[in-house]
Amino acid sequence: MTIPIIGVTSFRELNKSGNPQFSVGQSYTSSLERAGACPLIIPLELSEAMLDSLLLRLDGMLFTGGGDVHPSAYGSQDHPKVAGVDPDRDRVEIHLLRRVVEAGLPFLGICRGLQLINIALGGTIYEDIFDQRPASLQHSNPDRPRDYLAHSIQVTQDSQIKQILGSDHLEVNSFHHQGIRDLANGLIETAHAPDGVIEAFELPGYDFGLAVQWHPECLQEHPPMRALFSALTQACQVKEHAA
């Protein structure tokens, strides 16, 4: 089989000279490369027609972490703790996700990616877990190392992610202040934290449509986390071969 090409969503930032640039964490692309896939970073500002044309050349998609989705995308109001909003990124990723599902392409969402996918399919999120679920665990750990294992998760039996991870109980890192409030119709929860916050979901009846709230790209020394990227790569190879 040829090497699958997997699109990777990017974010906008200013470089040291104050000029805008598109970026993505190297850990995402390194994890895909290690799994045998070729990552392709997708810039923002592309028209929907250009995005559709690009998707024809991809074998799968990775929706990465980053700033918050604008509350208007899920019918909510501004919140003082919502930060890092980029409406153009929301537009690009929501369009991509919907087209990816229509085309049946394999996809994986990570952190913001999980929240974005849920929103794109009609779900909602908490603007800030700690304000709206005061009894929740500490899910945001900005001062901790990226591989810090913050809490456990319970994985649903007979789920696709259980087959991939090989366990129904794992320790994960955690760097998010938002989380799923209402799961979109059609998605099923496949993992949760001890406080009930949804940590993973999948799209049933779909070859490979998963999302996780933690950051497996920062835990590549752990075999179950490498397995997520290997499973995505394998699904893309199967999809490419079938096409």
Given the residues 192, 217, 218, 240, the one annotated as active site? 217
217 is known as an active-site residue: yes
- Three-class SS state of 93: helix
215 is known as an active-site residue: yes
Closest CA to 103 of 7, 230, 196, 231: 7
What CA–CA distance (Å, rounded) separates 88 from 71? 13
Phi, psi for 27 (deg, rounded to 5): -60, -30
Q: 177-201 in b/e burial notation, b at 16+ Cβ within 10 A? A: bbbbbebbeebeebbbbeeebbbbb
95 is known as an active-site residue: no
End-to-end CA distance of the chain: 12
Closest CA to 171 of 191, 190, 189: 191
Catalytic sites, residue numbers: 111, 215, 217
